[in-house]
Amino acid sequence: MEEKTFQRIKELTELQGTSGFEEDIRSYMRTAITPLVDDVQQDGLGGIFGLRHAAADKPRVMVAAHMDEVGFMLTEITPRGLFKVVPLGGWNPYVVSAQRFTLKTANGNYPCISSSVPPHLLRGTSGQVKVEDILFDAGFESKEEALAFGVLPGDTIVPQTETVKTANGKNIISKAWDNRYGCTVVLEALEALQKETLDYTLIAGANVQEEVGLRGAKPAVTKFDPDLFFAVDCSAADDLTTTNGTFGHLGEGTLLRIQDPGMILLPRLREYLLDTAATHHIPYQYFVSKGGTDAGAAHTANQGIPSTVIGVCGRYIHTHQTMFSIADFDAAREMVIQVLKGLDASTIKTIVAGK
């Protein structure tokens, strides 16, 4: 991996923005996308996309990451100055406690930690934890002091983590790889395609609010009306104890998602992806998921949009620390670039027609 790419990953993953509060990531994406496209447009919820225009009668292809990461929204300040929250996105309650966060307010950002109960005080109890039971602590001594610092219900709390490489140089540890992976790939693909002539209009960028119900994809595909939709997203690895009968193994290539609760990969689209991988010797692995992506929202939008995911897997997603493979990222990036290079109006027509 080139140092430029690692630095881009580090910058994007260390940025903080949970669902509905993606402004820092959107600003980064706007700055990076603008010199690579003909124009940049934003939908009503805040998704941002760069367009490379073809003739009006040419098909339209959309490549979409999502900007948001899982986090929390502050719902109540207790008399002692602690915070009750609701999760934004899916959290395992057992990974929330005793972690460092950033409390983002209109007055500025403040360090914050999540509470934990010492084992001494759990004796005689069930020991079970719910997110709603975990308090967040920014060190304020009262509700009045928190309010004086500008803290209000509706503020967000986001993980704080440094992005680093593992000792062997083969993996990276970060937060928010779901889905700053997609943001990184979109930028790298646009750079790689700068000198390519495309036989379609390319719409490439990132949606908002994916982690809270695939909300951002819906206005985006309505606005841009693509003929094909490619989500670029990170999924959960399942390889800690075995790779026999599980999906998502670090180091085995990009994910070819064939089914999840919201999407079935259409035959002609699968055929195109397999041909692309074989032609360019791109390692891939089949993937079946219990969770969905923006492709699930896109493919039933408008009059129906053939959609798929070009993904990577990561261990421990939706936590402070995700581990992912540099080789998998390289494979996914190459897959996105070659898929977009290989598409033309005739191929898109065949995929959409399904015959």
Q: Which residues are catalytic?
A: 210
Q: How far apart are CA 212 and CA 141, in angstroms?
A: 32
Quick one: CA dihedral 41, 44, 48, 51, positive or negative? Answer: negative
Burial class (CB in 10 A: 0-12, 13-18, 19+), 154: exposed
Q: How many CB atoms lie within 10 A of CB 294?
A: 34
Residues sharing a CB contact under 8 Å with residue 159, sequence separation 6 or more, in sequence order: 16, 69, 70, 71, 99, 100, 101, 102, 175, 176, 319, 320
3-state secondary structure of 251: coil
| C-alpha 99, offset from chain centre | 21
Look up residue 205 and give its two tokens.
């960028």
Quick one: CA dihedral 136, 139, 141, 142, positive or negative? Answer: negative
Q: How far apart are CA 36 and CA 351, in angstroms?
A: 27
3-state secondary structure of 208: coil
Q: Is the peptide bond before 179 cis (omega within 30 degrees of 0)?
A: yes
3-state secondary structure of 94: helix
In this structure, what DSSP letter does residue 197 have? P
Buried b (16+ CB within 10 A) or exposed e, 177-199: bbbbbbbbbbbbbbebbeeeebe
